[in-house]
Structure 1
C-alpha cells in the first residue's frame, strides 16, 4: 500500500501557480498524443507480425493471431532509436500487445545504461544506430528533432530498401525525411489536437494500462473523432501500402497478399453486432495500383515496391477505394478493437466522448 499515493502536496499540480493552472491541459494532451502514437504503432506492428506468419504458414491472419509466436526465425524484428519516455512506453506496449519475442526488439540510445529494466527482459540496448537499422524490419524514430539530422547521416547507408522507417518526429515532414535518409519506405502519422480536448487521457496512467480501457481504445481508433486528437487518414493509406511493401520484400505473390489482407476482415464480427448488410471485404489489385498495371500483373508476381512518402502526399488508387467503400470503415474499426482484445458492442459504436473533430 502506497501511503503517499493520494497526498495532494506531492502531485505535480500542487506546485503550479494559480495563474498558470490553465496550462495543465497540456499534460493531458501530451499523454493523449503518446497513447495514440503507441496504439497506432502497435496496431501496425501487429498487422506486420500477422502478415509475416500468414505468408510463411499459408494460413489466415486470424489463425496466426491465435497461435502467437511459433517460430522466432519468422518473428518481426523491431528497432527503436531513442530511449526516452516515448521509446520506453512504445517498447512496453509492443511487448504486451503485438507480441514479439524480447530478442526481436532492440533499442539504440545514447544512454543504454538507463534501460536496465529492458535488459532484464532480454532486450538488447546499445548505442549503434547503423547496426540497428541494418537488422530491423521496422525502425521507430523516437528521438528529438535536433538529433534527427545526425541520426539520418549515421543510418542512411545501412537502410535496406525494404526496411520501414516509422517516424514520431513531428517537426520533420515526410518529404524532408525522405531527403535526409535517401529512403522512400517511410511512415509518419500526423496528429491534430482540438481546443476542447477530452479529459479521458489523464497524465500519469501507464500506456499499457490505458490501452486496456475500451473508452481509450475507442478514442484512439483512426476513424473515431472522440478524444479531441485526430489522425490524418493518409496514415491509413500509408500503412496498407507499407504492408504491401513488407510482403513484396518476401517475394510474396500479389494474389496471396490480397487474400491475406482480405482475411484480416472477417464479416462475422459485424454480423454479431446485427449489421445485416455486412459482407466480407475482398481486395483486388486495382484497389492499390492502376487498372492498366493490374491487368498486366500475373498472379505469381509480387506488387512493386511503393514510395510511401508519395502515398502520404498524393492521391492513390487506395484513396479512391477508401472514399467509395461503404463497408471498409466498419470492418476496420472491428479489426482495430480486436487487435487490443476488446470486442466492439453495438452500444460502443456510438462515440462515448464527443469532443474533438473527425480524423481527416
Structure 2
C-alpha cells in the first residue's frame, strides 16, 4: 500500500520539472525489469524444485531402510537457495521466493554486509549473515544480487568453495558471461538478458509490491518469456540455459539420459492447452536429438548419462535445442501455459498465447 497515493504534493513526480518529465518512463522501466527478473527467478526455482522431487521419487525404493541416513538423504533433496546481496533487488527477490511458493524460509539464506537490515526476513526464519563462502557451500542455487563493483571481490571469496553442481544465477548485467566464467571458475551460470523496446508501455503498477504485481494477471502475463507486452522482452537463450541446467542436475544425480528425458517431459510438458485434449498426438516430446548432436548420439547407450553442459556456451552459441525451441510454436505454447500455471494464473479466455517471433528480442 502506498501511503502517498492521495498526497500528490509529496509524491516523487511533484518535484520533477516539466522539461524533465519526459524521463519519468525510466522509473516504470526499472520497475518492469525488477518484476520480470523476480518472476523468472521464481519460475526457475519452481522448475528445479519439481525436478529434484521427481529425481528423489525415482530413486530405487528398495535401497531405503528408514534409518537416519535415509532421513538425511531426503533432507538433502530439498532445494536450498542462497542470495548474495541484501539490497533492493535481494529483498524483492527474497519476498517473491517466500510468498510465491517455491522456497520455504528454512531453505533460504542471505549473505549481506548488513544482515541487521533484514530483520523482517529473520523473523520469518530466513538465516541472514555475512559469510559468502559458507553460503555457497550450502546452496544448490545461488543468486548474485550485488552491485558490479563488488562482484570481483565476492567471486574471489567464493570460487574455491563453489560446488560444481551449484547453479549460479547472476543479476549483475554489467558483467558479461565469459568474464563471470573466469571470475568464478565455473560454467554452471545462468544470466537473464532483457531488452527494452521503443514502444515501452508502463503497465507495471507503480503502487504495488512486487509480489502483489505478480498476482495481477495483466502484469503477470507481460512477464511471460514470449510476451512483448510492456515493452520488455527476455532473451530466449536464457530459457535454453534453463533446460540444460536441468539436464546437468540429472547428470549430477547419475541419471541415465533416457530417464532424464522422461523427467524433462514431466517437468516442462505437464501442462496442456485446449488443443492437446482433442489431439494428444500434437503434444511435443523431448528426444535425445533435441539436446546433443548426431555425432554424440551415436555413442549414447541406453544407460549413459548426458554430458555436463557448459551453460555459458548454451547462452552464447547455437545448440541442438536452439532450432527446436525457436521453430516449434506448439512447444512455445506449452511452455507459456506451464509458466502461467506455475503461478496459478490462466491465459485470457484460455486461448493459445500470442508468441512473438521478433528476432530482435532473441
Give the TM-score normalised by structure 2: 0.89
Rounded to whole Å, the distance in 2 between the matches of 1:222 and 1:4 is 33
SS at match of 1:269: coil
Ranked by relative contact order (alpha carbons within 8 Å, sequence separation 6 or more), the top structure is 1
Instruction: Verify: 1:6 aligned to 2:6, yes or no.
Output: yes
SS at match of 1:212: coil
**Aligned equivalent of 2:63:** none
Instruction: Verify: 1:144 aligned to 2:147, yes or no.
Output: yes
Q: What stretches of structure 1 of length at least 5 have no aligned partner?
A: 60-70
Instruction: Verify: 1:230 aligned to 2:230, yes or no.
Output: no
What is the CA deviation profile of residues 44-83 of structure 1, one whole-angstrom value per residue up to 9, with x for unaligned ones? 1110000000111139xxxxxxxxxxx6542101000000
Go from structure 1 to structure 2 and tell me whether the alpha carbon gap of 1:281 and 1:348 turns closer, same or farther (over 3 Å shift). Answer: closer
SS at match of 2:168: strand
**Aligned equivalent of 2:96:** 93
**Aligned equivalent of 2:301:** 298
Offset at residue 276 of structure 1 (A): 5.2
**Aligned equivalent of 1:35:** 35
**Aligned equivalent of 2:19:** 19
Matches within 5 A, 1:216-255: 216-255=219-258
Offset at residue 304 of structure 1 (A): 1.4
Offset at residue 108 of structure 1 (A): 0.5
Rounded to whole Å, the distance in 2 between the matches of 1:263 and 1:299 is 19
More divergent stretch after superposition (320-329 vs 200-209): 320-329
The CA RMSD measured in Å over matched residues stands at: 2.4
Instruction: Verify: 1:127 aligned to 2:123, yes or no.
Output: no
Rounded to whole Å, the distance in 2 between the matches of 1:37 and 1:17 is 31
More divergent stretch after superposition (255-264 vs 102-111): 255-264
Go from structure 1 to structure 2 and tell me whether the alpha carbon gap of 1:74 and 1:83 turns closer, same or farther (over 3 Å shift). Answer: same
Offset at residue 249 of structure 1 (A): 1.3
Task: Select 1:106's aligned residue among 105, 109, 122.
Answer: 109
Task: Select 1:78's aligned residue among 81, 84, 93.
Answer: 81
SS at match of 1:161: coil
Offset at residue 97 of structure 1 (A): 2.2
Offset at residue 9 of structure 1 (A): 1.4
Equivalent residues, number: 347
Rounded to whole Å, the distance in 1 between the matches of 2:107 and 2:230 is 33
What is the CA deviation profile of residues 166-205 of structure 1, one whole-angstrom value per residue up to 9, with x for unaligned ones? 1000101101101111111110111111122112113342
8 Å contact from structure 2 (residues 214, 220) kept in 1: yes
Instruction: Verify: 1:344 aligned to 2:347, yes or no.
Output: yes
Q: What stretches of structure 2 of length at least 5 have no aligned partner?
A: 60-73
8 Å contact from structure 2 (residues 49, 78) kept in 1: yes
Instruction: Verify: 1:209 aligned to 2:217, yes or no.
Output: no
Higher helix share: 2
Instruction: Verify: 1:359 aligned to 2:361, yes or no.
Output: yes
Instruction: Verify: 1:45 aligned to 2:79, yes or no.
Output: no
**Aligned equivalent of 1:63:** none
Give the TM-score normalised by structure 1: 0.90
Go from structure 1 to structure 2 and tell me whether the alpha carbon gap of 1:33 and 1:275 turns closer, same or farther (over 3 Å shift). Answer: farther
Go from structure 1 to structure 2 and tell me whether the alpha carbon gap of 1:160 and 1:73 turns closer, same or farther (over 3 Å shift). Answer: closer
Rounded to whole Å, the distance in 1 between the matches of 2:305 and 2:97 is 29
Offset at residue 206 of structure 1 (A): 0.9
8 Å contact from structure 1 (residues 33, 229) kept in 2: yes
Go from structure 1 to structure 2 and tell me whether the alpha carbon gap of 1:280 and 1:273 turns closer, same or farther (over 3 Å shift). Answer: closer
Go from structure 1 to structure 2 and tell me whether the alpha carbon gap of 1:313 and 1:271 turns closer, same or farther (over 3 Å shift). Answer: same
Rounded to whole Å, the distance in 2 between the matches of 1:260 and 1:173 is 31
Go from structure 1 to structure 2 and tell me whether the alpha carbon gap of 1:206 and 1:345 turns closer, same or farther (over 3 Å shift). Answer: same
SS at match of 1:28: helix
